[in-house]
Amino acid sequence: HVQLVESGGGSVQAGGSLRLSCASSGWRYISNCMAWFRQAPGKEREGVATAYIGGRGDTFYADSVKGRFAISQDNANNTLHLQMNVLTPEDTGTYYCAVDLLCTLPLNGMDAPDYMYWGHGTQVTVS
Protein backbone atom coordinates (compact mmCIF):
# COMPACT_ATOMS: atom_id res chain seq x y z
CA HIS A 1 0.00 0.00 0.00
CA VAL A 2 1.05 3.62 -0.48
CA GLN A 3 3.14 5.08 2.31
CA LEU A 4 4.23 8.70 2.58
CA VAL A 5 6.55 9.82 5.36
CA GLU A 6 7.40 13.49 5.80
CA SER A 7 10.47 14.82 7.55
CA GLY A 8 12.47 18.01 7.92
CA GLY A 9 10.06 20.20 9.85
CA GLY A 10 11.14 22.28 12.81
CA SER A 11 11.27 25.72 14.33
CA VAL A 12 13.01 28.59 12.57
CA GLN A 13 13.14 32.35 12.80
CA ALA A 14 11.55 34.54 10.16
CA GLY A 15 13.77 34.83 7.12
CA GLY A 16 15.20 31.38 7.66
CA SER A 17 14.98 28.22 5.58
CA LEU A 18 13.87 24.62 5.93
CA ARG A 19 13.91 21.65 3.58
CA LEU A 20 11.11 19.13 3.82
CA SER A 21 11.29 15.61 2.43
CA CYS A 22 8.60 13.06 1.63
CA ALA A 23 9.73 9.47 1.24
CA SER A 24 7.22 7.35 -0.64
CA SER A 25 6.67 3.70 -1.35
CA GLY A 26 4.01 1.29 -2.57
CA TRP A 27 2.95 3.11 -5.71
CA ARG A 28 4.00 3.77 -9.27
CA TYR A 29 6.17 6.78 -8.70
CA ILE A 30 6.25 8.22 -12.18
CA SER A 31 3.47 9.81 -14.22
CA ASN A 32 1.53 10.92 -11.17
CA CYS A 33 1.48 14.01 -9.01
CA MET A 34 3.00 14.57 -5.62
CA ALA A 35 2.24 17.68 -3.66
CA TRP A 36 2.73 19.59 -0.46
CA PHE A 37 -0.21 20.98 1.45
CA ARG A 38 -0.22 22.81 4.76
CA GLN A 39 -2.70 23.53 7.49
CA ALA A 40 -2.40 26.23 10.10
CA PRO A 41 -4.36 26.05 13.37
CA GLY A 42 -7.96 27.08 12.79
CA LYS A 43 -7.54 27.27 9.03
CA GLU A 44 -8.38 25.03 6.12
CA ARG A 45 -5.77 22.89 4.44
CA GLU A 46 -4.23 24.72 1.49
CA GLY A 47 -2.09 23.64 -1.41
CA VAL A 48 1.51 24.80 -1.43
CA ALA A 49 3.14 23.16 -4.45
CA THR A 50 2.68 20.17 -6.69
CA ALA A 51 4.87 18.38 -9.22
CA TYR A 52 4.20 15.96 -12.05
CA ILE A 53 6.56 13.11 -11.34
CA GLY A 54 8.87 11.91 -14.07
CA GLY A 55 7.76 14.38 -16.69
CA ARG A 56 9.30 17.58 -17.96
CA GLY A 57 9.44 19.08 -14.51
CA ASP A 58 5.92 20.52 -14.55
CA THR A 59 5.10 22.23 -11.27
CA PHE A 60 2.48 24.50 -9.76
CA TYR A 61 2.90 26.83 -6.80
CA ALA A 62 0.47 28.73 -4.67
CA ASP A 63 0.85 32.48 -5.13
CA SER A 64 1.81 32.85 -1.47
CA VAL A 65 5.00 30.81 -1.92
CA LYS A 66 6.11 31.63 -5.46
CA GLY A 67 9.70 32.74 -5.56
CA ARG A 68 10.38 31.43 -2.03
CA PHE A 69 9.62 27.71 -2.18
CA ALA A 70 10.93 25.12 -4.63
CA ILE A 71 9.59 21.59 -5.12
CA SER A 72 11.97 18.96 -6.44
CA GLN A 73 12.07 15.25 -7.18
CA ASP A 74 14.60 12.59 -6.26
CA ASN A 75 13.33 9.91 -8.62
CA ALA A 76 16.06 7.43 -7.68
CA ASN A 77 14.76 7.38 -4.11
CA ASN A 78 11.05 8.07 -4.73
CA THR A 79 11.36 11.19 -2.63
CA LEU A 80 9.86 14.65 -2.98
CA HIS A 81 11.47 17.71 -1.45
CA LEU A 82 10.28 21.20 -0.63
CA GLN A 83 12.94 23.84 -0.15
CA MET A 84 11.44 26.73 1.80
CA ASN A 85 13.30 30.04 1.93
CA VAL A 86 12.54 33.45 3.40
CA LEU A 87 10.05 31.91 5.78
CA THR A 88 7.49 34.09 7.53
CA PRO A 89 5.20 33.39 10.50
CA GLU A 90 2.37 32.95 7.97
CA ASP A 91 4.14 29.80 6.76
CA THR A 92 3.61 28.15 10.14
CA GLY A 93 1.57 24.97 10.03
CA THR A 94 1.58 21.24 9.55
CA TYR A 95 2.92 20.31 6.14
CA TYR A 96 1.53 17.23 4.44
CA CYS A 97 2.75 15.26 1.47
CA ALA A 98 0.07 13.87 -0.84
CA VAL A 99 -0.29 11.79 -4.00
CA ASP A 100 -2.75 12.13 -6.89
CA LEU A 101 -2.71 9.05 -9.11
CA LEU A 102 -5.07 10.56 -11.68
CA CYS A 103 -3.52 13.97 -12.31
CA THR A 104 -3.16 15.33 -15.80
CA LEU A 105 -1.14 18.08 -17.43
CA PRO A 106 -1.07 21.02 -17.45
CA LEU A 107 -0.99 21.64 -13.72
CA ASN A 108 -3.38 24.53 -13.14
CA GLY A 109 -4.05 24.18 -9.45
CA MET A 110 -4.31 21.77 -6.55
CA ASP A 111 -7.44 20.63 -4.78
CA ALA A 112 -7.07 18.48 -1.69
CA PRO A 113 -9.96 16.11 -2.62
CA ASP A 114 -8.04 15.07 -5.76
CA TYR A 115 -5.23 13.61 -3.66
CA MET A 116 -6.02 10.13 -2.43
CA TYR A 117 -2.97 9.37 -0.30
CA TRP A 118 -1.59 11.49 2.51
CA GLY A 119 1.27 11.44 4.96
CA HIS A 120 0.90 12.23 8.64
CA GLY A 121 2.53 15.64 8.35
CA THR A 122 5.53 17.48 9.74
CA GLN A 123 5.29 20.64 11.83
CA VAL A 124 6.85 23.91 10.68
CA THR A 125 6.94 26.81 13.11
CA VAL A 126 8.25 30.23 12.10
CA SER A 127 8.66 32.89 14.76
The predicted-structure confidence for 17-33, as pLDDT tens digits, reads as follows 999 999 998 877 677 89
Phi/psi-derived region of residue 75, left when phi > 0, alpha when psi is between -120 and 50, beta in every other case: alpha
CA separation for the pair 42, 55 (Å, rounded):
36
pLDDT in tens, 64-82: 999 999 999 888 889 999 9
> CA-CA distance, 82 to 35, in Å (whole number)?
9
pLDDT tier at 118, thresholds 50, 70, 90 = very high
**Per-residue model confidence (pLDDT) at position 113:** 94
Q: Partners of 33 in the beta sheet? A: 52, 100
